[in-house]
């Protein structure tokens, strides 16, 4: 286990200045217990100061070149890599991730800044020249160019506190926008380090990046409801997203919200491969991922065999010391989240599901008592009835819930029965069936013979229905954060 550094004290960052406030956020240490950081909490006054700074710098940012902005992003990427070990330890402690996953998150965040620089160069090099083609526009010539959208409010989640932040902040800066970053109140420390890295980069004007941690109840509506914000990039729950959408008014909304990904398994699938994908898809980061496999929808003829194989492969997934390279996963983010997972599991069992393994909160040896109730056992539910809440609601826990279907029509009906439609997977050896199901399943992305994964964002991802608005990704996000201007010659 790593030796914890002295308790951190972080400040907010507004208009190029580090600012202390009267209120603070306490950040729980999910590795050793206790509090490992205190961070200044912005209130309405600080939020409005940040809004003013982000608004006032827009004209200056619009005059910057893509070469300048790409250089900023590359310098930020370098700065993150230089602080990899510090950032990895912070992510372990604030988010409860195993050290191997935390290091991977730092690498992903750095690469996203590098790739944002590339995408910005690519976009501006592909402006359009058009000729008028309708009556009355004969002889018209026009240039269509990209320009920054303005100020972007980035609202980031706890589950990928640095990588998802990079996926929002990097394209926003690369496009020439000012940024207001509101991180999740449970995991703001990695974002504070990002702010420090950005502060060290030469050339970024004051006000271009503002870091405003704080309780959503105090500053959320102040930020999202201000008409000086031109776009909102958000990753979070569907409920929180809907609230922000109601408050925001006429801005570009770029939201990746809740997920409840079905893995639809046909009788001709390779069940060993299916089991491996579903176990990893359900248990990675204790299931606290929007793209997690939340429900396995299996043809009734292979249900029992698949459950046996999933059960066997779950043996390799054990919680433990988060600084041990072999630890598979750690605690849930809070006791409230553990209680939510317990509620969904209990509901499924009460309605007739078979509890094959797990189903309880249980901590590994050596875990501080105060964190014990945040560990949830890897859980396998079989024969889950379709009226169980876990079939349709987002769980964010280490649970594989297996339900059955008789034919293709029922498989589609179950897969599309949720209000959430972010990701899905289809397992079959029949190409035509795979493509038909991918077309019919209502989801932002459908993976064939593999678990959903957003990766770096080289392939656009995002949700339908209550799972979001728009698409995220290395190129998709930067397009969302720019607007087109037609100049008629």
Q: Are 72 and 171 in contact (CB under 8 A)?
A: no
Compute CA distances 221 → 180, 199, 242, 245, whole Å.
13, 27, 12, 10
d(CA 230, CA 221): 15
The pair of structure tokens assigned to 288 is 């606290």
Compute CA distances 348 → 105, 303, 358, 450, whole Å.
33, 17, 13, 26
Cβ-in-10-Å burial (0-12, 13-18, 19+) of 369 comes to exposed
Q: Are 331 and 30 in contact (CB under 8 A)?
A: yes
Compute CA distances 398 → 212, 429, 443, whole Å.
32, 28, 22
Whose CA is closest to 48, among 245, 249, 223?
Answer: 223
For strands 17-19 and 24-28, give the pairing.
unpaired
The pair of structure tokens assigned to 175 is 């496009």
d(CA 281, CA 289): 9
Which candidate in 94, 256, 377, 394 is catalytic? 256
Q: Are 357 and 312 in contact (CB under 8 A)?
A: no
Listing DSSP states for 470-488 in one string gives: S-BSTTHHHHHTEEEEEEE
Compute CA distances 190 → 86, 88, 179, 309, whole Å.
9, 9, 17, 38
Torsion angle of the four alpha carbons 222, 224, 230, 231, in this order, in degrees rounded to the nearest 10: 150
d(CA 373, CA 380): 19
- Please name the helix (run of DSSP H) or strand (run of DSSP E) that holds residue 117, with its range, or none: helix 99-124
Q: Are 489 and 141 in contact (CB under 8 A)?
A: yes
Told to judge if 365 belongs to the known catalytic residues of this protein, a careful annotator would answer no
The pair of structure tokens assigned to 35 is 């509090």
Instruction: Please list, residue by residue across 430-448, b when 16 or more beta carbons sit within 10 angstroms of its beta carbon and e when fewer do.
Output: eeeebeebbeebbbbbbbe
Whose CA is closest to 180, among 290, 80, 57, 275?
Answer: 57
The residues assigned a catalytic role are 256
């Amino acid at each position: 286990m790593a030796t914890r550094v002295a308790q951190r004290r972080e400040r907010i960052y507004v208009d190029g200045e580090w600012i202390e406030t009267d209120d603070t956020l306490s950040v729980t240490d999910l590795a050793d217990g206790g509090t490992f950081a205190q961070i200044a909490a912005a209130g309405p006054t600080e939020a409005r100061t940040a809004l003013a700074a982000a608004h006032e710098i827009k004209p200056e940012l619009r005059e910057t070149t893509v070469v300048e902005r790409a250089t900023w992003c590359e310098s930020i990427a370098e700065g993150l890599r230089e602080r990899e070990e510090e950032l990895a330890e912070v992510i372990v402690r604030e988010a409860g991730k195993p050290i191997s996953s935390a290091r991977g998150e730092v690498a992903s965040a750095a690469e996203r800044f590098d790739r944002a620089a590339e995408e910005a160069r690519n976009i501006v090099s592909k402006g359009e020249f058009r000729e008028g083609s309708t009556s009355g526009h004969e002889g018209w010539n026009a240039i269509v160019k990209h320009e920054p959208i303005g100020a972007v409010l980035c609202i980031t989640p706890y589950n990928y506190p640095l990588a998802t932040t990079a996926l929002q902040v990097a394209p926003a800066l690369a496009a020439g926008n000012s940024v207001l970053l509101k991180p999740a109140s449970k995991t703001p420390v990695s974002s504070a380090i990002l702010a420090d890295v950005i502060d060290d980069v030469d050339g970024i004007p004051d006000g271009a990046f503002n870091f405003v941690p704080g309780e959503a109840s105090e500053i959320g509506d102040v930020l999202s409801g201000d008409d000086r914000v031109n776009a909102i990039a958000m990753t979070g729950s569907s409920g929180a997203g809907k609230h922000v959408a109601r408050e925001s008014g006429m801005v570009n909304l770029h939201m990746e919200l809740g997920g409840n990904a079905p893995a639809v398994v046909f009788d001709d699938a390779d069940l060993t491969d299916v089991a491996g994908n579903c176990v990893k898809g359900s248990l990675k980061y204790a299931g606290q991922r929007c793209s997690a496999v939340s429900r396995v929808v299996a043809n009734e003829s292979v249900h029992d065999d698949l459950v046996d194989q999933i059960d066997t492969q779950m043996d390799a997934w054990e919680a433990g010391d988060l600084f041990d390279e072999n630890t598979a996963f750690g605690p849930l983010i809070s006791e409230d989240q553990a209680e939510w997972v317990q509620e969904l599991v209990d509901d499924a069992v009460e309605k007739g599901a078979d509890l094959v393994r797990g189903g309880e909160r249980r901590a590994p040896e050596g875990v501080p008592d105060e964190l014990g109730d945040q560990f949830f056992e890897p859980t396998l539910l079989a024969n889950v009835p379709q009226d169980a809440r876990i079939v349709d609601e987002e769980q964010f826990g280490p649970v594989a819930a297996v339900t059955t279907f008789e034919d293709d029509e029922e498989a589609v009906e179950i897969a599309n029965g949720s209000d959430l439609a972010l990701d899905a997977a289809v397992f079959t050896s029949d190409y035509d069936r795979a493509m038909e199901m991918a077309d019919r399943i209502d989801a932002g992305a459908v993976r064939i013979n593999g678990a959903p994964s957003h990766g770096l964002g080289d392939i656009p991802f995002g949700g339908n229905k209550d799972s979001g608005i728009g698409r995220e990704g290395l190129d998709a996000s930067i397009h969302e954060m720019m607007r087109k201007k037609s100049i008629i010659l």
